[in-house]
A and B are shown apart, each in its own frame.
Chain A
Amino acid sequence: MTTRVSDIDFPRAQMHDGRRVIGRRLLYWVLIPLGSFAVGALAWAALAPVRSESREQVYVIPKGTWEHRQAGHHLDVIPSRIRLTIGVKDVLVMRNEDDVPQLFGPVLIMPGQSFQLPFQRPSEYIFTCPLHSSGLLTIVVEPMPEPGWPRLRWRATGLVTPGAWL
């Protein structure tokens, strides 16, 4: 009894062709769209104009903050490092909703009062701030990012920085 090669190879060839078809379909329907989407997203992130509905970055000292602190609880209600961008988010707003005056960064804010601090120049501003365990509040004010790599990097940093924005 002789076995023809084609009898054995035929299913393998069929399987090989099937894989090739699946590979092509994967390429056409999944990888190319995904790749295009990724390239599009990167292009958008690098080139799209930077917009923001409001230029205010608002932080609130909630009611009960003083009582919590008096009870010895550590309460970081506001990040010790705040990132702002000129022309996008360049107005820091601090609102005191607690029942007692609070020294937040550079100012004493009365209960129910807010303090709105606009920034015009990129720089790193360091204020003493008793609300933080380090005793310092750092406000990093960045220039409006240029289209291209700076804007892409700025958006990427915004994704991983708490309190940041796109």
Chain B
Amino acid sequence: MKRSVLALLLLFLLAVTIGAAASPAELRAGVFNPPRLAPDFALRGSDGSELKLSRYRGKVVALAFGYTNCPSVCPVTLGYLAEARKKLGAGAKDLQVVFVTVDPERDDADHLKKFVAFFDPTFVGGTGTPGQLAEIRKVYGITMSDKIFTDASSKSKGIYYLDHSSFVYLIDREGKLRAMMPFGVTADDIEHDAKALLSR
């Protein structure tokens, strides 16, 4: 009798633990429910190889969109991602940051490599044709503006800015799109959620 009560109690505790682990509420990011497979792509990687999300199965991927000439949002986002990775310690090896450009005109693979390496040498950038990148933005719901020239002189020099969605998507070890972090989250938030996804 005592054993069966103990067994029931253990089963209950197990169910509660599993329920809590599966709960999307444990993440600080926005959570998709049910999660779907993250749309894959094939781009030119800044590391010289083909960049595909499926290459990182078994790791948690933090996917960000931006461009190397971005004056504020993109460097801040990559800075936080680098900081979060440091905070993860040994777990950092299983967090892969992927930075996909929205500005293929200026961001070739070499340029991307230098840019992302400034934050963390393990970060990988991706570029492709405007059509390829537009398709990727569409499936991830990324919006962006046309080129913004501040004045006539910047137009003649080809200096422009782009307004774009500045989210970080979190993809789990199985390649499922689990969460989205809007701009403004801190390195602590990223570390918290990455750790939660890595523990699954």
Contacts and interface: CB of A to CB of B under 8 A. Distances in A.
Interface residues of B, number: 21
B30 A115 contact: yes
A31 to B, nearest CB: 50
Contacts, number: 53
Interface residues of A, number: 19
Given A108-B139, A108-B140, A118 B165 contact: no
Given A108-B140, A125-B182, A116 B30 contact: yes
A125 B185 CA distance: 12
A5 to B, nearest CB: 84
Contacts of B29: 117
Nearest to A135: B143
A120 B28 contact: yes
A23 B24 CA distance: 62
Interface in A95-118: 103, 106-110, 113-118
A128 B31 contact: no
A128 B165 contact: yes
Binding site of A, secondary structure by majority: helix, strand, loop or mixed?
strand
A52 interface: no
A123 interface: yes
Please name the 10 residue pairs, one residue from A and one from B, whose CB atoms are nearest each other, closest first. Answer: A108-B141, A117-B30, A116-B31, A103-B141, A128-B143, A114-B33, A107-B141, A107-B180, A115-B32, A115-B30
Interface of A: 91, 103, 106-110, 113-118, 120-121, 123, 125, 127-128
23 contacts: A103-B141, A106-B141, A106-B180, A107-B30, A108-B140, A113-B33, A113-B34, A113-B36, A115-B30, A115-B31, A115-B180, A116-B30, A117-B31, A117-B182, A118-B25, A118-B28, A118-B30, A120-B28, A120-B189, A125-B182, A125-B184, A127-B182, A128-B165
Interface of B: 24-25, 27-34, 36, 139-141, 143, 165, 167, 180, 182, 184, 189
